[in-house]
Chains A and B, each alone.
Chain A
Amino acid sequence: GENVEQHPSTLSVQEGDSAVIKCTYSDSASNYFPWYKQELGKGPQLIIDIRSNVGEKKDQRIAVTLNKTAKHFSLHITETQPEDSAVYFCAADTGGFKTIFGAGTRLFVKA
């Protein structure tokens, strides 16, 4: 089955700097890659997603890149703000019923 690995587990950046979170997946059939943000005491919330026919997608300060050959995708947050502090999860979906999540990255943005 699919396995998703996520790095780093913790990331601390200064406000205004960029943050990059990387994920790899194992199943070449995966074709949908969402990213979720989870704040304390809340459920995960989708922030951006990318499909396998696209190499890059951007939404304001957030961008995601996908390298299908390497089975690798990354989240980039530019001009980080304190409110970006949260746990971020990458995920992979083969189009079936399961979405497989990474273990998460705890992002701290220092003011």
Chain B
Amino acid sequence: GAGVSQSPRYKVAKRGQDVALRCDPISGHVSLFWYQQALGQGPEFLTYFQNEAQLDKSGLPSDRFFAERPEGSVSTLKIQRTQQEDSAVYLCASSIRGAGAQETQYFGPGTRLLVL
């Protein structure tokens, strides 16, 4: 079966541009997570959705970052006025039930964002 997919896989943006990163979770998965992974580091939590509800966005670095999951399936992470420090791999993960269920998170391959 299909896993978590993300697009684009690579994105080069000029500083100040807006970008949108897409995540297609595994069908039927309730939970969706976004993480930011800097080079040589572990993933860092950005935000969490349970179905269409964004229950935690405490990891978003600034108000330039915005995420949505309007129909409880596909999610988009938008970064406005990109800065060089936004360069990282953005990972999406989904799990079957709500967070707190101690379940496996299934990760997508990530989108590598480079801001010049």
What residues of chain A have their CB less than 8 Å away from a CB belonging to chain B? 4, 6, 31-32, 34, 36, 41-46, 49, 51, 89, 91, 93, 95-104
Contact = CB atoms under 8 A, between A and B. Distances in A.
B1 interface: no
Contacts, number: 61
Interface string B17-36: 00000000000000001000
A interface SS class: strand
Given A41-B109, A46-B104, A89 B99 contact: no
Interface residues of B, number: 25
A42 B4 CA distance: 11
B91 interface: yes
Q: Which 8 residue pairs across A and B have the least CB separation, nearest first?
A: A43-B107, A101-B42, A97-B56, A97-B48, A32-B102, A97-B99, A95-B100, A98-B45
A43 B37 CA distance: 10
Contacts of B102: 31-32, 49, 51, 93, 95
A44 B107 contact: yes
Contact of A45 (B45, B100, B107, B110): B107
Contact of A34 (B44, B100, B104, B108): B104
Contacts of B109: 41-43
B43 A101 contact: yes
Given A96-B100, A99-B45, A104 B107 contact: no
A43 B4 contact: yes
